[in-house]
Amino acid sequence: MSDIAALTTRIERLEHELAIQQDIHQIRRLQYTYGYFIDKSQYNEVVDLFAEDGEVWFLGGIYQRKAGVRRLYIERFQKNFTQGHNGPRYGWLLDHPQMQMVIDVAADRSAAQLRGRSMMQAGLHHTAEGQQRAWWEGGIYENSYVREDGVWKIKALRYYPFWHGSFAEGWAKTPIDFIPMARTLYPQDPLGPDKLMDPQPRLWPATDIVPFHYPHPVTGKPIVPDNSRAREGFRDHESRSR
């Protein structure tokens, strides 16, 4: 191979690998901006972050394509949280700090995956109208992204809330099945998902590991969750409560 050909090969490789670092930067921005938008109930702006065939996994349900994404953010959240307004309302806190993002871009740069987390502060100020509540919440994301015409978009936002705790009582006292999982599909439930997650997740005090999209960083082996004891306290509790 000539000198020129050899240098060209090295330059091509550099261009590709630098582009992947730039992709990581753009995907981090995309997910972080999702966080900033959702903090402030900028739901139209959230919907615009998704690809046309994007989807959201939320509390046991899967909302599919732009129509499903809109149903969740605009018809459900915007109605419930901000009285139909696309923007923040007085006295409603919903902070979703976005943290600990592990991002992997496919070799052909068409797709990417991300594991991340949030630790929320949420609730209503006592001078604002509505049901009084204040809570902490921790959860994991395992998301997918797609690059279309050079622009990264959310392909699947999969949020796995893990624990909730009221501001007063915390995670030690969270009621079992504190927030109900989706049961009824759209359109029977006009705000329901298009599909149910399978298997159905279970909230804290269940402690299931959300599967990792990537292998162990040192051994390179798949990370195999052992969830055999993640739900074993429910039995007793549930039998006691019947």
Site for a copy of itself in 3-22 (CB under 8 A): 3-4, 7-8, 10-11, 14-15, 17-18, 21-22
**What binding mask, one character per residue, do residues 152-171 give for a copy of itself by CB under 8 A, x or -?**
xx--------xx-x-xx-xx
Find the shortest distance in angstroms from Cβ 7 to a copy of itself: 6
Cα–Cα nearest to 187, from 37, 25, 35, 68: 68
Phi, psi dihedral angles at 158 (to 5 degrees): -115, 100
Question: Residue 242 interacts with a copy of itself (CB under 8 A)?
Answer: no
Which of 104-111's residues contact partners 24+ apart within 8 Å by CB, and which partners? 104/213, 104/214, 105/20, 105/23, 105/24, 105/27, 109/16, 109/19, 109/20, 109/23, 109/147, 110/146, 110/147, 111/144, 111/145, 111/146, 111/147, 111/155
Find the shortest distance in angstroms from Cβ 234 to a copy of itself: 7
Residue pair 94/41 in contact by the 8 Å Cβ criterion: yes
Closer residue to a copy of itself in complex, CB, 58/142: 142
Question: Residue 29 interacts with a copy of itself (CB under 8 A)?
Answer: yes
- List the one residue from 65, 66, 95, 109 that touches a copy of itself (CB under 8 A): 95
Site for a copy of itself in 52-81 (CB under 8 A): none
**What binding mask, one character per residue, do residues 174-213 give for a copy of itself by CB under 8 A, x or -?**
x-x---------------------------xxxxxx--x-
- What's the DSSP call for residue 170? B
